[in-house]
Structure 1
Amino acid sequence: MDFLLTDKRITMFKWWFFILLLTTGTMLHAQQASDILKAPKTVLAGVYADPHIVVFGNKFYIYPTTDGSEGWMSDYFTCWSSKDLVKWKNEGTILNLKKDLTWATERAWAPAIAQKNGKYYYYYSADVNIGVAVSDQPTGPFKDPLGKPLIPKGSFKGQMIDPMVFVDDDGSAYLYFGQGNCNMVKLNEDMISCDLSKVVVITPQGYNEGPFVFKRKGKYYLTWSEYDTRDPRYSVAYATSDSPMGPFVKAVGDPVLKGKGLVQGAGHHSLVQVPGRDEWYIVYHRFRIPDGNGYNRETCISPMRFDDHGDIQPVDVFEQVKSVKIK
């Protein structure tokens, strides 16, 4: 009799345990659905990565990598514009590798843009080379002035990708680039050539890719992405210097941008200052929500702030961006 009673208790326990598991699973699913609804909004419709943001005139522009293919095999670049950082317009394709280049057909990655001499200079990765294109308008179309890469693959250690150009107050322009190694070289006045024998390696500790340089209150900031873009830990760190050529001293502490909760793989960023104000925003990609990964990423914007010493404060990836007008 005691055996039968114990057996019944075991059976009842199994049923209660099953019900508990079912209830817990339902609650977790509901919580996940709720979290997804609360996720910060993306700014570009679709999957786009490696966004480069800039201000030209009274508009913001974003130049991203077209995402969504395993191995990142896109063959074209687009441009997006906005008057308020919230609503974005797709300006269409501005450079098509298969149509506009003779030396590369795929792997169109991580562009950047700079304005000088009354023209717009567009720097990009194509087949693991770095190219440059020129246009009279920020929305293109852009044309290849060289008929060859600006920096061919294999020129230096690491991959020849992720170009970024910083134009200083005196008009001098500097090109930063590289995966695995962070390289830097001063561009010639024409913005489409440089002396490769003068390339300097400035790789900071933890650097992987995606360099971006900006200047604030006389201080130069070198920012970059750590880990791999397919890694949920992908994040952004920074260093500072008194010169655009370094040496750069890495900031102490945690990354200034990293994922949290359902936001994963937050990195490969760029920064923009609202003209006339000490107001800054960081644009970056994350794994698509839901079900994203290193090949399916989406573009977001978050406010970025500094303390009284000029140190970058940790970015809240859940803070929504409000409408910003350029006066």
Structure 2
Amino acid sequence: MRIRFLLPLLLSSWPIVASQAQRSLPADTLHAPTAVLPGVYADPHIAAYGQTYYLYPTTDGTEGWMSTAFTCWSSPDLKTWKKEGVILDLPRDLTWAKARAWAPAIATKGGKYYYYYSADANIGVAVADKPTGPFKDPLGKPLIAKGAFQGQTIDPMVLVDDDGTAYLYWGQGQCHVVKLNADMVSFDPAAVVEFKPPGYNEGSFVFKRQGKYYLMWSEYDTRDPRYSVAYATATSPMGPFTKAEKNPVLKGKGVVKGAGHHSVLQVPGTDQWVMAYHRFRIPGGNGYNRETCLSPMRFDAQGNILPVDVFEVVKPTRIKRPASSVRP
């Protein structure tokens, strides 16, 4: 009789035991999620306009990173990406640079879209009426010429704050920030602030959440498997920024190497965040053959960024906006 009562008890406890055992198993670090873009693309900037997501990456695949053009990709749900074509071709569209098209970023203000990019180790800006371009050079020269400031003149990023003021960040080896003029294509060189957070190398990205400004950057060299992302916070977009105690927040693991040079996006109308970044291509990738990935990014109750899992897949997510607020 005791056996009869014992068997149901054992069976009823099985799901609990199995669940506990499953949680204790080591994570699979040998089978990474598929990259979101086909082929080799790096330094992705992610944005959302209207009800569409966009990715603006560097075209990879050449030693020395000798790409000559930029592309744009669009998606309704973060899962299915469509190539919108070439939006800026250096030999065709510029008079001052022909190659080394790197690390773009985009911002919008006043119904215009401003595309900031590296070209031959200068920083340029181009303007369009739509997020898919075509983008045109309004200056006929770099926005920031190489050698104008300390460090390498690459990796621009622009934050448009809640009051409409825009701030430009850039630099490899040294971080810089300056308030842009209202035209979005000029600034006062005397107002540039230079600083270097501990571990900073390149790829600065800034966003604002709940009144706090987050400055993020990549550490090590992009050809180094240890390439990773760290962050600091401030109460002003100009700093000073204090590096968080728990860093990095993005790094490779297992088969994933060289995870870095990222951007982040807040899904409109939510507190859901997504990080776009590159990793060495799988299999056989390196610092010249990288691929673009997406992972969820989360915060704890104190606003600290939690470690990003490079093996976690972003779920399909559509943007929900009132019809009256939707525009290209």
- Would you call these one fold, judging by a TM-score over 0.5? yes
The alignment status of 1:100 with 2:93, answered yes or no, reads yes
SS of the residue aligned with 2:92?
helix
Equivalent-residue separation in structure 2 for 1:95 and 1:321 (angstroms): 29
Between Structure 1 and Structure 2, how many residues are aligned?
Answer: 293
Q: How far apart are the structure 1 equivalents of 2:34 and 2:231?
A: 25
Please name the residue that 1:277 is paired with. 270
Matches within 5 A, 1:67-82: 67-82=60-75
- Match of 1:117? 110
Distance 2:29 2:169 in 1: 37
1:9 alignment partner in structure 2: none
* Percent identity of equivalent pairs: 73
Residues 55-108 of structure 1: CA deviation (Å, up to 9, x unaligned) = 110011000000000000000000000010011000000000000000000000
- Alignment partner of 1:90 out of 80, 83, 86: 83
Q: Distance in 2 between matches of 1:203 and 1:171?
A: 26
Aligned to 1:239: 232
* CA–CA separation in structure 2 for the residues paired with 1:305 and 1:234: 20
- Counterpart Cα distance in 2 of 1:35 and 1:317: 9
Say yes or no: does 1:60 pair with 2:53.
Answer: yes
Q: Give the distance between the partners of 1:136 and 1:321, measured in 2 at CA.
A: 30
2:11 alignment counterpart: none
Q: What letter is aligned with 2:254?
A: G
Aligned partners of 1:200 and 1:39: how far apart in 2?
A: 40
Question: 2:195 and 2:169 mapped to 1: Cα distance?
Answer: 9
**Retained in 1: the 8 A contact 2:97–2:119?**
yes
What residue identity is the alignment partner of 1:49? Answer: A
The equivalent of 2:136 in structure 1 is 143
Is 1:288 the counterpart of 2:290? The answer is: no
* SS of residue paired to 1:98: helix
Shift of 1:254: 3.0
Aligned equivalents of 1:280, 1:253: Cα separation in 2: 19
Which residues of 2 match residues 152-167 of structure 1 at below 5 A? 152-167=145-160
Deviation of residue 253 (structure 1)? 2.2
TM-score (norm 1): 0.89
Given residue 229 of structure 1, which amino acid in structure 2 is its aligned partner?
Answer: T
- Partners of 1:309 and 1:198 lie apart in 2 by 32
Distance (Å, rounded) in 2 between the aligned partners of 1:243 and 1:82: 32
Deviations 1:269-296 (A, max 9, x none): 0000011110001000000000000000
Is the contact between residue 202 and residue 246 of structure 1 (CA under 8 Å) also seen in structure 2?
Answer: no
Q: Deviations over 1:196-235 (max 9, x none)?
A: 1111013211000000000000000000000000000000
Residue 180 of structure 1 is matched in structure 2 by 173
For 1:220, which of 209, 213, 222 is the aligned residue? 213
What SS is found at the alignment partner of 1:197? helix
Q: Does 1:313 align with 2:306?
A: yes
Residue type at the aligned position of 2:184? M
Deviations 1:145-176 (A, max 9, x none): 00000000000111000000000000000000
Any idea what SS the aligned residue of 2:190 has? helix
**TM-score, scaled to structure 2:** 0.88
Instruction: Specify which of 119, 137, 150 is matched with residue 126 of structure 1.
Output: 119
2:29, 2:311 within 8 Å by CA — same for their partners in 1?
A: no
Q: Secondary structure at the match of 1:314?
A: coil
8 A contact 1:61–1:82 mirrored in 2: yes
Alpha carbons 1:272, 1:281 under 8 Å: kept: yes
Secondary structure in structure 1 of the residue aligned to 2:217: strand
Q: Give the Cα–Cα distance (whole angstroms) in 2 for the partners of residues 143 and 189 of structure 1.
A: 18
Alpha-carbon distance in structure 2 between the residues aligned to 1:248 and 1:40: 33
Q: C-alpha offsets along residues 296-315 of structure 1, whole Å, 9 cap, x if unaligned? A: 00000000000000000001
Whole-Å Cα distance in 1 between the matches of residues 89 and 311 of structure 2? 34
Query: What is the root-mean-square deviation of aligned Cα atoms in Å?
Result: 0.9
Partner Cα separation in structure 1 for residue 258 and residue 29 of structure 2: 17
Partners of 1:326 and 1:122 in 2: CA distance:
23
AA paired with 2:178?
V
* Structure 1 outlier segments of 4+, above 6 Å: none
Q: Secondary structure at the match of 1:257?
A: coil
Structure 1 unmatched ranges of 5 or more: 1-33
Q: For the residues of structure 2 that align with 1:95 and 1:51, how far apart are their CA atoms? A: 15
1:175 maps to a residue whose letter is: L
Of 188, 191, 195, which residue of structure 1 is paired with 2:188?
195
**How far apart are residue 35 of structure 1 and its match?**
6.2
1:282 & 1:203 partners in 2: Cα distance?
Answer: 23
Letter in 2 for 1:235: S
